[in-house]
Amino acid sequence: MTTPAARALFADLFDYAGLFPPSKLPMDRAVADYAEYVTSAHAWMLSRFVVPVTRLGEFEEHAAERSPKPEDGRRANGLAVSEEDEELADKESKVNPHRSRPKPWKLSAIINADKSLDKQIEAIFDFNAAHESAPSRGLVEIDSIELKGATPAAIDAAMDVIPEQLNPFFELDHSGDIRGHVAALAGTGGAAKIRCGGVTADAFPSAEEVAVFIAACAAAEVPFKFTAGLHHPIRAEQNLTYEANPPRGVMHGFINVFTAAALAFNKRLKPDELVKCVESTEPTEFRFEGDALNWGGHSLNAEQLERTRFTFAVSVGSCSFTEPVDDLKGLGLLE
């Protein structure tokens, strides 16, 4: 059985990034997979679809038939849907947007560093406005963006431009001193992001770098997300791509890093203590027992885990959803 602690830790955990390496799926396949995942038994673990702003038009082309529509609520109840019904559903959704509507798709848009931030935000607002004014095009909304945070000054400048309707995640360079970057985000409504891997072994930050990042965000009360290199729950050597004879390397585990985040957030553990959690390669060290997750003599209850996930360690961008689900089943953590 999936315990309350496991549900608290894994709920809305994965932002689906199937467009990106190592999966690097074509848009039609990535959208089709996401449409399948959001109706699966483990949809409660799935969060946003990650898409570059420059590919929003391509996304709309392939999502038009698959994204949820207002009339889907009537179809789910076995009611016939005519063209008049669809028009009524559109009108009703504007008056009472929550009545009988299926859950909309949420998107996280990747900002292109070589293009104008202003123009890309304008494109996002045009996209949202088009779907809000014509829900029959699909109940889809971009509510977060992801961009590079090269310097504290660059973060400050971007935050002056980004409207409050969008939640920005700034990717920080884990190889440098990120404390100034995190300080620049404190109290602004902005969030941090750390890349935890890639298609080569040198793309993976050390356990110490991950621990320092988590501790810095906890100290400054800055929320964050992970991305890349976290397809598997526990730290281990894995294939880094899906090609024949792929390169191999040690990948961080998403249970490791989110447990470390919960310990930093609730217990104020320091980086040297968090490193031990990030480096653990033994699944049995992470004990999900009813309402609690126990590791290293520390216990975190479901409420603490929920608060961590809701306000601090928000999600992980992953190009695979089936791998983490299958691995969790293999560990006996999912039905």
Identity (one letter) of the amino acid at 158? A
The helix (run of H) or strand (run of E) holding residue 192 is strand 191-195
Q: Domain-by-domain residue ranges, the chain?
A: 4-68+103-330
The residue-averaged pLDDT of 12-22 equals 97
Which candidate, 140, 73, 125, places its Cα nearest to that of 100? 73
- DSSP character at residue 198: -
Q: What is the pLDDT of residues 207-226, one digit of tens each?
A: 999 999 999 999 999 999 99
Whole-angstrom Cα distance, residue 16 to residue 28?
Answer: 14
Residue in the structure block whose two tokens are 């216990």? 299
60-101: per-residue pLDDT in tens? 999 999 999 987 754 443 334 445 545 555 555 555 544 456
pLDDT at residue 124 in the model: 98
The closest alpha carbon to 282, from 315, 305, 310, 259, belongs to 259
Which residues lie across from 51 on neighbouring strands? Answer: 109
Residue 272 C-beta-side C-alpha neighbours within 13 Å? 0
CA distance 94 to 116: 32
Question: Can you spell out the DSSP letters for 38-107?
Answer: TTSTTGGGEEEEEEEGGGHHHHHHHHTTTS--TTHHHHHTT----HHHHHHHHHHHHHSTTTTPPPPEEE
* pLDDT score of 276 more than 80: yes
3 state DSSP class of 109: strand
What is the residue-wise DSSP string for 201-257?
GGGSPPHHHHHHHHHHHHHHT--EEEESS--SSS-EEEESSSSSS--EEEEPPHHHH
More reliable by pLDDT, 94 or 266 = 266
End-to-end CA distance of the chain: 5
As a CATH number, domain 4-68+103-330 is: 3.20.20
Distance of CA 156 to the CA centre of its chain: 23
| CA–CA distances in Å: residue 78 to residues 13, 75, 142, 281 | 32, 5, 30, 49
* 296 band by pLDDT with thresholds 50, 70 and 90: very high
pLDDT tens readout for residues 150-197: 999 999 999 999 999 999 999 999 888 899 999 999 999 999 999 999
| Res. 131: pLDDT tops 70 | yes
Amino acid letter for position 299: S
Please list the residues that pair with 313 across neighbouring strands: 224
Q: In whole angstroms, what is the distance from residue 69 CA to residue 149 CA?
A: 36
Average pLDDT over every residue of 34-43: 97
Q: What was the pLDDT predicted at 80?
A: 41
Cβ neighbours of residue 164 closer than 8 Å, sequence gap 6 or more? 189
Q: What percent of the chain has pLDDT over 90?
A: 87
CB-neighbour burial class of residue 212 (10 A; exposed 0-12, middle 13-18, buried 19+) = buried
